[in-house]
Amino acid sequence: MKLAIKFIPVLLIFSACAHSVVEERIDRKLEKSSVDTQGELRTETGRLLETAPLTKEQKLKLSILRQTSRVELDNISQQSLKLQAILAQDVFTPEKFDREEVELVKERIRDLENKRLATLFNAVDEANAIMGREPLKKNTRMLDEFFDNKESTRSN
């Protein structure tokens, strides 16, 4: 047991180093990315889906997932835009300003953004399952959460 406890710092250091390597790799990919709009993203994902070395069944399932996710994400974005318009009216029209309404609209926008992210991440998980990839291991998620919490406490 004591031996296992001694290896925890080594595991944490190794995980931190691996995490920073991944962050650097993502940063390089971001610098190279030419996607700036939703339309460009849709075109690029469509191209990737067509050229990926997948079975017909996988391509069909991924295409259906892509379409249903897009519809759901578009609906969420539309609701968010309407709430943002209400928020702008409240902020820029002094006689209509209602602090309680503003706070409720902000909360609804926040909830929609969380729903949008959950929808996106669920679609990614489903796509990985369709492609036969293993889901992220629970212990890997725990380590990531540990480092995310460490970083957020440092910045506060």
Q: pLDDT (tens digit, 9 = 90+) per residue, 95-134?
A: 878 889 999 999 999 999 999 999 999 999 999 999 888 7
Tokens of 53: 């070395």
Residue 11 lies in a domain: yes
pTM recorded for the entire structure: 0.67
89 and 151 in a single domain? The answer is yes
pLDDT confidence of residue 139:
46
Cα dist. 72→91, 118, 146 in Å? 29, 11, 31
Which residues span the domain enclosing 12? Answer: 1-30
What number of CA atoms fall less than 13 Å from residue 61's CA on the CB side? 14
Residue 61 lies in a domain: yes
**pLDDT over 70 at 27, yes or no:** yes
**pLDDT over 60 at 80, yes or no:** yes
Mean pLDDT of 24-33: 83
